[in-house]
Amino acid sequence: VEVMNEIALLRESIASIKHRSETIGFVPTMGALHDGHLSLVDYSSSQCDKTVVSIFVNPTQFSPNEDLAKYPRTLQQDIEKLRHHSVDVVFVPDATEIYPPGFSTMVSPPTVARCLEGEHRSEHFQGVTTVVLKLFNLVQPDIAYFGQKDYQQTIVVLQMAVDLDVNVDVRMCPIIREPSGLAMSSRNRYLDGDQRQRADALYKTLALADNLITDGQRDGRVVMAEMNQSLIDLGVDSIDYAVVADPNSLTLMDTITLPAVLLIAAHVGTTRLIDNRIVS
């Protein structure tokens, strides 16, 4: 695996891959890699000739009150993990490589970015779409792999790619979970023992809501009220949202039609967790 920090070196590598007419799979990450990321790497290496992973804690997608400074940075362990998978290039730029002095152009994200995460994390998706578009331009992947865990992010990136004629096949891959059901996340390492147990509330609540809908409940307000109650009963400290939404537009469903997506964002201690489930 080649590890590189500079855009100029990345461009050389990409040019030589393209010269050999090999396909490129791309997994953008912010590091602190876990089995969820590694599953994306495995999808890429099984479907593409070459796999490029980026590790970049993107400052523009964090609001001033968020965890940018304390976001886990575990570069050596990350590279060690990637060595056990089929990865060809790891791109690890620093912030000035991506945002040099004078940088001032930002992507205006699509409408689907305004609700849910967009309401609670202003500027977040502007930062995500900007960095993802830059990375797409640099890596020029045939296929880019995103996790369903960040469901809205994947929908936002898909829409951006369509709207801006980005010639990349954006794929959403399944959530990887701990044995308890907790969705794997770099932020799980912030949880202590008690909080980790309470964090299972998200998965359990998604399962409960799925059961309600599968048993015939079609009133979205009833399901959303049950989700909120369940999260509180199971010990989360606060809830940003717990909703049933259309899987493409993410508009809330008063009357549930299938497929639907259940989405939750909640806080356990000072850690903000998200999870989701498609009901089809």
216: left (phi over 0), alpha (psi -120 to 50) or beta: left
90: which 2 tokens?
């790891």
Buried b (16+ CB within 10 A) or exposed e, 163-195: eeebebebbbbebbebeeebbbbbbbebbeeeb
Beta strand 238-245 with 260-268 is: antiparallel
Nearer to ligand PAF, 59 or 235 (CB): 59
Distance of closest approach, residue 29 Cβ to ligand PAF, in angstroms: 5
Distance of closest approach, residue 54 Cβ to ligand PAF, in angstroms: 7
Residue corresponding to tokens 């990321």: 37
Nearer to ligand PAF, 170 or 213 (CB): 170
Nearer to ligand PAF, 144 or 244 (CB): 144
Distance of closest approach, residue 98 Cβ to ligand PAF, in angstroms: 10
Distance of closest approach, residue 235 Cβ to ligand PAF, in angstroms: 26
Among 71, 73, 39, 36, CA closest to 55: 73
DSSP 173: E
Nearer to ligand PAF, 78 or 150 (CB): 150
3-class DSSP assignment, residue 27: strand
For residue 259, cis peptide bond before it (omega within 30 degrees of 0): yes
Nearer to ligand PAF, 64 or 179 (CB): 64
Binding site for ligand PAF (CB under 6 A): 28-30, 58, 61, 128, 131-132, 150, 153
Distance of closest approach, residue 37 Cβ to ligand PAF, in angstroms: 8
Residue corresponding to tokens 């990865």: 87
Q: Which residues are catalytic?
A: 37
Beta strand 169-173 with 143-147 is: parallel
Length in residues, the chain: 280
Residues 155, 206, 266, 246: what is their CA dihedral angle, to the nearest 10 degrees?
30
